[in-house]
Amino acid sequence: MSDYDVIVVGAGFGGPVAAKKCAEAGLSTLILERAAVPGEKVISSLTIPFYGFLFGPSWIRDGDPPIERPVSGIRNFFVKEGKTFAKDCSFRVPRPFGPRVSIGYTTYCRPFCTWLADRAVEAGAELRTSVTAVDVIKENGKVQGVVTDRGEELRSRMLLDSEGLQNLLGIKAGIRKRYLPEVVELCLLLDFEMPKEEIDRVCGYNLEYFWGMPEEEIIAPLGYGSAVYIFPYRESIHMTIGCFLKAEDEVAPAVRTLDAYYERFFQTDRWQSEYAPHTKLRARIWDTCPIYAGLHPEMREMPTFTDNMLLLGDAAGMEAAAIADGVPTAWFSAEIAADTTIEALKAGDTSADFLSRYDQRLRAHPLITALITDPHRRDLKYAAINVSEKEMRKRVHNGWGFGMMKHLTWPVTKAVVGSMWRKPSIPFRWMNMFNRYYKLYR
Ligand SMILES: Cc1cc2nc3c(=O)[nH]c(=O)nc-3n(C[C@H](O)[C@H](O)[C@H](O)COP(=O)(O)OP(=O)(O)OC[C@H]3O[C@@H](n4cnc5c(N)ncnc54)[C@H](O)[C@@H]3O)c2cc1C
């Protein structure tokens, strides 16, 4: 006897998407979330790329999610001896289309995930917050539900694990291992208040990334961390610096290492002249993301299913390796997981054998594999190994400048053609979305 057809663990970005679809199919669906509010335990904010909206759930695209600011370009700044000595702003939507047509939207996680969870509840799913699933119930070697931190045993015919990086239930179910430290990035994020007119003047609709050779010490060694990222919001900016838990010197970074990078970055010319006079720090957040999981053969090959259970989003290693954009892949995998669950329950067959089609569908998706195996960020280490600033700039151009088009064009084109094949009128909906979101922002 099951209490529910489906239990979804996690009300972050992926869980509510899967839960909504299951509930709409008439399945009794429960979402368990350890935080008091959906999205509260996810990092505080991020930029969701346009392809998440275009090729993800149509109800997000056609709805009015709480976005902060459209993004129409990336500005890469190169720093030497504390000064910005070069720029690469080649990746941007050309005028007059940008920022009406965007490459993504910035958003805060808490309102966005709450909005997603509300839509799942409207569709009939039950949401229980402040409840942590601490173990799986296993009978005859098969997953039958979860045990909560309150000692409750909740049984379900299918378990969808969308609990993000910690991946506790996948490990307890015996199908996955803990992420290795070399695939996990520790990030320190700072959130600043900044008047809207100053953000409009300084960044406008652009993300700003700052890069430097290792001796600059404003970021972790190339390939083992990332740029200093500045994301603009409506009336705030968000900064991130990260470093992998195991870098080339095998020394695990501490949050204070990241603080030291920030201290040096705060002395650079652009920060001092454009940001410092107008910003007020309001939050420090640290978090981890398994962004190189798709680049590590052992991690990439870990299963995403077992009898009666599917994993999705970060719990299944879906984070994109170059720009940490795990939301689109969480949405894609959540929809595929829900479709597979509905089919399995209809067929009365939730065996691993039947559910293996989930993994095949993930691999066949036009964007997922391309995103999780993108080596650009990792391969920045060759610029450091070759001690070549020129190589760093070239690699940044290819990863986060116009060169990005080379490796994104083919998978995005495949996704566009696939969508138009299924629904020829879809480009009108896309344009409508860009217009509507722009109006939501204005
Ligand atoms: C610093 C940082 C920056 C990022 N920037 C971006 C970006 O700019 N763009 C982008 O697209 N992606 C970004 N990401 C990645 C993105 O946040 C994740 O890929 C995405 O949130 C994954 O969705 P998910 O549903 O798999 O997991 P999450 O959104 O992490 O949701 C997991 C949920 O499960 C809950 N939970 C966990 N364990 C349990 C349990 N045992 N019981 C009950 N509830 C549980 C958590 O509280 C959480 O709400 C970033 C990540 C980090 C850490």
Closest-CA residue to 164 (of 132, 204, 196, 119): 132
Beta-sheet pairing, 206-211 with 142-148 = unpaired
In whole angstroms, give the CA distance from residue 62 to residue 421.
19
Ligand 1 center–CA 435 separation, angstroms: 28
Residue to mutate, 7, 20, 46, ligand 1, most ligand atoms under 8 Å from C-beta: 46
Q: Which two tokens stand for residue 442?
A: 């204005």
Q: CA 323, 328, 333: angle at the middle one, nearest 5?
A: 125
Whether 400 has a pLDDT exceeding 90, the answer reads yes
16's CB contacts (< 8 A; 6+ apart) are 8, 31, 38, 113, 116, 117, 119, 120, 125
The pLDDT tens digits for 306-356 are 999 999 999 999 999 988 899 999 999 999 999 999 999 999 999 999 999
pLDDT for the residue 248? 66
Closest-CA residue to 166 (of 305, 255, 288, 323): 288
pTM of the model: 0.97
Alpha-carbon separation of residue 48 from 17, 121, 151, 304, 326 (angstroms): 15, 23, 36, 24, 8
How many Cα neighbours within 13 Å face the side chain of 384? 21
In whole angstroms, give the CA distance from residue 221 to residue 165.
23
Ordered domains of the chain (ranges, CATH): 4-70+98-179+293-441 (3.50.50.60), 182-289 (3.30.9.10)
In whole angstroms, give the CA distance from residue 311 to residue 303.
9
Sign of the dihedral through C-alpha 70, 73, 78, 82: negative
Ligand 1 center–CA 14 separation, angstroms: 8
Ligand 1 center–CA 284 separation, angstroms: 17
124: left (phi over 0), alpha (psi -120 to 50) or beta: left
Question: Rounded to an integer, what is the distance from CA 233 to the centroid of its chain?
Answer: 17
When pLDDT is averaged across residues 111-129 and rounded to a whole number, the result is 98
319 lines ligand 1 (CB under 6 A): yes
Percent of the chain with pLDDT over 90: 88
238 lines ligand 1 (CB under 6 A): no
pLDDT for the residue 336? 98
- Which residue's C-alpha comes closest to atom 51 of ligand 1? 289
Kindly indicate the confidence band of residue 250, based on its pLDDT and cuts at 50, 70 and 90.
low
